[in-house]
Amino acid sequence: MEQSVRAAQLRSLAPNGGACLAGTGRREASGLRLLTFPRATYNLTLNAQTGRGRTTMEIDWNQVKKQTLWNYEDLINKLLKTLAYDFVQEYYNHTMKAARSYAGQVQQGYLQKSDTTLRDNMIARFKRLEALQVETYLDLVHQVETREQCEAFLRQTDLRFDDLIQTLNYLFRWVLPFAIPIREFIATDNETQNAHYEILKQHRLVSNLDILEQGRTRAGRTRLAQVTGIPKTFLLALVHKADISRLAYFDNVRFPPHDHVVGAIDYGSSGHG
C-alpha cells in the first residue's frame, strides 16, 4: 500500500539534524525509499502500519583506502601497534575531553590557517563520541577493531561511516607519533654508529618509538647501556632525535601543540645521560 512520509518525519531521520524533503528518492516495491545525503547513502525502511522508519548507512569499505591510503585492517593494526607503547598510552591516549582541546592545539601548532574546518569537525566528533561513552582513543579503536565490530558500533550509535574513518585517519596522521626507522638517525659513514645500530637491531629496537619506550628515562637508558654495551651519551642523543621525529610534520611546527614536545618526557639531566 502506497504511503506518504511527512517532511517532518524525514527531517528527524536525517543525519546531523539536516533537512530532507519528502518525496526525495524513490519508492521500491519492498517499501524502501533510497535517500542520499552528502558523502553517504542512507536507506529508509518504512513500517506499513505506522509510516515510521529508520535509517541505516551503507558502508563502502573501498572508501577507507581512498581516504587513508590503507585498507581497514591495516589502518586498525597501525593504530593498535602505536597505542601498544606504554609512553603512548601515557602521553597520547586522550580522553574525549582532552581530544577536543588537543584538536585546537593541532590547529594552532601545525595548521596555522584561518580555515578551522578540520578542528571544528574533530571537536564535534569527539563531543559526540564522549556522549556515546567512548573513553579514550584506544577505547574507540578497540570498539571498531574488526569490520564486524565497526558495523555493530555504527548501528548502535548512528555514527556516519565516513566520520568514523576520518576520525581514525586523524588519529594516525595528526595525533599519534609517527614511527621512523632508527636507521635514519645513524651516520652511515660512521663505523661506531653502524655498530651501535646493529646491536640495537639485535634487541629489536628498530624505530624511534622503540627507543622512546625503552630509553625515555635515565633508568631506562642505564639498563639499555648495561644490556647493549652502548654508551649512555649515544643513547641520550638518539632519544632526543627520536623525540623530535615523532611529531607530525615537525619541520613545520612553530608553536608546540599540547605537551608532546622535547622535554615532555623525562630524559633526566642531558649532561649525564
Q: Where are the domains of the chain?
A: 7-57, 62-175, 182-252
Cell numbers for 175: 595525533
Q: How far is CA 221 from CA 38, 65, 82, 207, in A?
A: 52, 39, 21, 16
Return the exposure string of 113-123: e unless at least 16 CB atoms fall within 10 Å of the residue's CB, then b: eeeeebbeebb
- What's the CA gap between 273 and 234, in Å, rounded? 9
What pLDDT is stored for residue 203 in this prediction?
A: 97
DSSP 175: I
pTM of this structure: 0.71
The DSSP output letter for 34 is E
CA torsion 209-214-217-223 (nearest 10°) is -160
Query: Mean pLDDT per 10-residue run, the chain (273 residues)?
Result: 36 36 37 38 46 62 94 98 96 96 82 82 96 97 98 94 96 92 92 96 96 95 97 95 76 40 45 48
Alpha carbons 141 and 67: distance in angstroms, whole number: 17
Q: Which pLDDT score is estimated for 114?
A: 74
- 136 DSSP β-pair partners: 95
Rounded to whole angstroms, the Cα distance separating 97 from 208 reads 28
- Would you state the pLDDT for residue 266? 53
Contact between residue 224 and residue 81 where contact means Cβ atoms under 8 Å apart: no
